[in-house]
Homo-oligomer: A and B are copies of this chain.
Amino acid sequence: MPQTGTTRIWRFGQCPAGNAFADAFTLETGPVPAPGDGEVLIRNEYISLDAGTRMWITPRSDGYQPPLPPGVPMPGLVLGRVVESRAAGFRAGDLVRGFGRWGDHSCVVPAMAALNVLDDTVADPRQHLGVLGMNGWTAYHGITETGRTRPGETVLVSAAAGATGLLAAQIARNMGCRVVGLAGGAGKCRMLVEDFGLDCAIDYKTEDVEQALTRIGGGIHVYFDNVGGPLLDAVLPNMAHYGRVAICGLVATYAAEGATPGPRRFDQVLMRRLSIAGLFSPDFAHRGPEYNALLQPWLRAGRITLPFDITTGLENLLTAYAKLFTGGNVGKVLVKLT
């Protein structure tokens, strides 16, 4: 059945300075695309906003990938339903997740979009963009593989009230670790301890983090870091010997177009025989089913969850996106399409 009507899309224009995202994108209206042979047309229900995408619009040649060319529709992870499929394995009505577009619809080639048909029985399907999706897998991989975390160890998580951080903290807690969170503001810190069972939380906005961390007996065995920057400086001299640092994100430096200062206490890598390693979700996305085999029972049993920070309306997307870089969110930032 050919599609009729109009659809909207956020088109990338130029790299923004800092968080001035309104200078970078324009919302355009056009006809709903007709899927070509091998394509799937999706009505987006939720758009996942992720800090890592900031790199796609930063003019540097040494990021994950070159910046997007001006003029392209902005790509992003979406959750939605198939409207029309001209690709094998997808049928109208299927609940799907994949790399689509910041728009009302996504028209994709499944293999290029990492498109999956999802379990439609999950109580809150948004968790396919949370516990059971890229954030959950990144948290699981970073804690278990990059961080080589063992039960009983002390795990520190930065941006602990953010989507990946909150999941990493809960996974470590479920493994029997002592878990300390770094977050901005007393409200977030209280939530981490009272609602998510962390052992303690440090408000980096008001506390001297390096000093506060010295009170953790035995040092930090694993630091799951989403931030980099001055917090990493505060953590390195508080790591336990043979500790592991999983660099999941460096959000403190994503907007920088040139080099940023390195960790001042890098010498502790040698003195304490630390390991520091980066992780990047596309590298292990193929292991999602393996990770969900653990995460889904935990989700059902109430042993892990992820709250959502929902903004309604595609037209309000940029306001939601900015939250990722200002600490304005708790949990997963999603745009709900109406």
**Interface positions of A (Cβ within 8 A of B):** 62-64, 228, 233, 237, 247-250, 253, 259-280, 283
Contact = CB atoms under 8 A, between A and B. Distances in A.
A266 B263 CA distance: 7
B273 A250 contact: no
A314 to B, nearest CB: 30
Given A250-B267, A261-B262, 12 more contacts: A62-B268, A228-B270, A249-B270, A263-B266, A269-B277, A269-B278, A271-B278, A273-B277, A273-B279, A274-B278, A275-B275, A276-B276
A278 B273 CA distance: 4
A325 B273 CA distance: 22
Contacts of A272: 278
B269 A264 contact: no
A250 B262 contact: no
Contacts of A64: 271
Contact of A263 (B237, B253, B263, B279): B263
Contact of A262 (B62, B263, B270, B277): B263
A279 B278 CA distance: 19
Contact of A265 (B262, B267, B269): B262
Nearest to A64: B271
Contacts of A261: 261-262, 264
A250 B263 CA distance: 14
Contacts of A259: 264-265, 267
A114 B88 CA distance: 67
A165 to B, nearest CB: 15
B250 A270 contact: yes
13 contacts: A62-B267, A62-B271, A233-B262, A248-B270, A260-B264, A261-B264, A262-B265, A266-B266, A270-B278, A270-B280, A273-B278, A273-B280, A275-B276
Nearest to A237: B62
Contacts of A260: 264, 266-267
Contact of A283 (B250, B253, B273, B274): B273
Contacts of A270: 228, 247-250, 278, 280
The CB with the most chain B CB atoms within 10 A, among A228, A269, A278, is that of A278
A260 B62 CA distance: 24
Nearest to A273: B278
A272 B276 CA distance: 13
A249 to B, nearest CB: 7
A201 to B, nearest CB: 24
Contacts of A267: 62, 228, 250, 253, 259-260
A268 to B, nearest CB: 7
Contacts of A277: 269, 273-276
Contacts of A269: 247, 276-278
Contacts of A276: 269, 275-277
Contacts of A63: 271
A228 B247 CA distance: 20
